[in-house]
Chains A and B, each alone.
Chain A
Amino acid sequence: MAGRDSIAPATASTGVPLLDVRGVTMRYRTPEGALTALADISLTVARGEFVALVGPSGCGKSTLLAILAGLEQPSEGTVALAGDPQARRLGRAGYMPQRDLLLPWRTALGNAIAGLEVKGVARGEAQQRARALFADFGLAGFERSYPPLLSGGMRQRVAFARTVLAGDDLLLLDEPFGALDALTRASLQRWLLDIWGRLSKTCLLVTHDVDEALLLADRVYLLSARPGHVRLERRVPLERPRTREMLARADLLALKAELLAALDEQQERSLAGGRI
């Protein structure tokens, strides 16, 4: 994708995207030989923007998020945070894998402050910040509950609270609702839509659900089958506040059809390609 013409200066200014990914390629060495998971990915996320990333499974979405979180270094290309390609990324973004990964020996509140604790925030302050979020996240009264006693939806919200507290501005969500049943997923999407404005964060959401992407995101990137590269980029023409009913609008239906067709095509390719 070569939609950008000006090279952003290294100093942060309002025009600089919070996240600027350029030409990122990722190769893995496997017993069967080199495996290219990502090929020349370029994308940007502006401050305050909600961007969704959809793509067939195995196309490298999780790999990309791990790179953005600083967990892995790309084989080629650069990732600039707030205009700085040299920035150490670990500890900057709030990274949320698909599984909630709550520590069973900690209470809900104790889990929510895990990231703050690593960053050296004093316990009292961390708990205070977590408590404030718990009220908004529908978790009030469950601060002292242990994760095994919480439902899937609640656990996911505790994990989300942990992510929001851990990340400075940027949230990297890897199919956060993927493991939930359809009803719980729908209610959490509605909930996220509702609190999104108040969080004042920036978000990159990986999902395999086109409806979810259209409902939540300002912009959608569609990745190709492996090796993943940007196949399509579309702006979602919906104002906020949004409701699920808006997805029935003619322009949205057309956009959904386009994305689904492209996704199907890539899915076919990834099936034909054998290994996922």
Chain B
Amino acid sequence: MKTPLTRASPRPPDYGRPPDAPTDEHGSAAVPAARVLPVAALLRRGIILLGPPLALLAALLLLWQWYASQPDIDAQFLPTPLAVWSAFIAQRDLLWHHTLVTLNETLVGFFWALVAGIACGVAIDFSPWMRRALYPLLVTSQTIPIITLAPLLVYWFGFGLTSKAIVVTLVCFFAIVVALADGLRAADPELLKLYRSFGAGRLRIFWSVRLPGALPQLFTGIRIAITYSVVGAIFGEYVGASEGLGFYMQLKLHSFATASVIAAILVTAALSIALFLLTALIERLALPWYYLHGRQAGA
């Protein structure tokens, strides 16, 4: 007796359609080809998005400038925004050097997190045994505070690139694996059946259906991971390094050059934001279909 297993199928992803597209005799939409958001609309959206936070930021900066320039506030204790700016200009070559070091650690660590994350995500998807074996270990690994691990890593791998890159990899890895494994699992079972009816094998189905379908989720994981990555590198540098933004901040803190510390913090933030925007841009270029109607709700 044949006994195919019943399995509760996850709801297939709903990619959305225009609700009121004009229709012809066969109920066809009269939309000839893919539409892309015009530049003007993008700009307007940018202003709507960026306007309020920028205005708030300007107000906070003014408040800070006013408060820090009160006569009873020590300039070393709390420098004004203008003093931070001067420190930034004065130290810009040095900051640039340390930024490149941190960026390098971040990218190397992130690259390996991506490689390892994709490999593990695929392995988890391909074998139920691997899912059962790896998933609990992965979750458990997340409970180990990186604070306790970083000094050991520096002890094992030295003050150079390797120990920082490993911290970054550890910090980024989890979000990527989970996003990919969940994305692959969410493939519509009906779609898999359709491809099987074409005579497609497992590998073909993976490349043609499951992987492309999991990409939006994978990118979500990547965006989360990249925001952690710079912090990971800085943290590794704090524990033990001879260059990099974390090292620079610690050095300046010890000599009470508060303005330089704050300048370095802002550079760190700028670096994180730049990397985040870069991933968002790559995602947009890689998944044009996903953005046909703007990001879908809940995706």
> Which A residues are closer than 8 A to B by beta carbons?
26-31, 34, 66, 69-75, 90-93, 95, 97, 99, 101, 103-107, 114-115, 117-119, 138, 141-142, 144-154, 157, 166, 180-181, 183-184, 187-188, 191
A118 touches B32 (CB 8 A): no
Residue B2 CB within 8 A of the other chain: yes
Identity of the chain B residue whose Cβ is nearest the Cβ of A157 in the assembled complex: B26
B29 touches A154 (CB 8 A): yes
- Would you list 19 pairs from A and B whose C-beta atoms are within 8 A, ordered by A residue? A72-B4, A90-B197, A103-B213, A115-B198, A118-B198, A142-B32, A145-B31, A146-B289, A148-B18, A149-B34, A150-B28, A151-B17, A151-B21, A151-B23, A151-B28, A183-B27, A187-B25, A187-B27, A188-B26
A32 to chain B minimum Cβ distance, whole angstroms, is 10
Residues from chain B with a CB closer than 8 A to the CB of A92 are 199
B195 to chain A minimum Cβ distance, whole angstroms, is 7
B197 touches A105 (CB 8 A): no
Complex Cα distance A107/B292, Å? 12
A153 touches B27 (CB 8 A): yes
Within 8 A of A (CB), among B6-32: 6, 12, 15-18, 21, 23-29, 31-32
A151 touches B34 (CB 8 A): no
Residue B54 CB within 8 A of the other chain: no
Complex Cα distance A30/B4, Å? 9
Complex Cα distance A91/B204, Å? 13
Within 8 A of A (CB), among B91-127: none
Identity of the chain A residue whose Cβ is nearest the Cβ of B29 in the assembled complex: A151
B32 touches A97 (CB 8 A): no
Complex Cα distance A115/B197, Å? 9
**Stretch touching chain A among B43-51, B186-194, B249-257, B264-272:** B186-194
Complex Cα distance A151/B200, Å? 28
Q: Tell me how many residue pairs across A and B have CB atoms closer than 8 Å.
A: 142
Please give 16 more A-B residue pairs, beta carbons under 8 A apart, in addition to A28-B3, A119-B199: A71-B193, A75-B2, A90-B199, A97-B194, A99-B12, A103-B213, A104-B15, A105-B212, A118-B195, A118-B198, A119-B198, A142-B33, A146-B289, A148-B17, A151-B17, A154-B29
Q: A138-B26, A149-B21, A151-B28 are in contact. Are A144 and B34 (CB under 8 A)?
A: yes
| Range of interface residues on B (Cβ < 8 Å) | 35 or more
B199 touches A97 (CB 8 A): no
Within 8 A of A (CB), among B186-240: 188, 190-191, 193-200, 204, 208-209, 212-213, 215
Residues of A contacting B: mostly: loop
Complex Cα distance A66/B215, Å? 29
A117 to chain B minimum Cβ distance, whole angstroms, is 8
Q: Which 7 A-B pairs have the closest CB atoms?
A: A91-B199, A153-B27, A184-B27, A95-B197, A151-B29, A29-B3, A118-B198
Complex Cα distance A19/B209, Å? 30
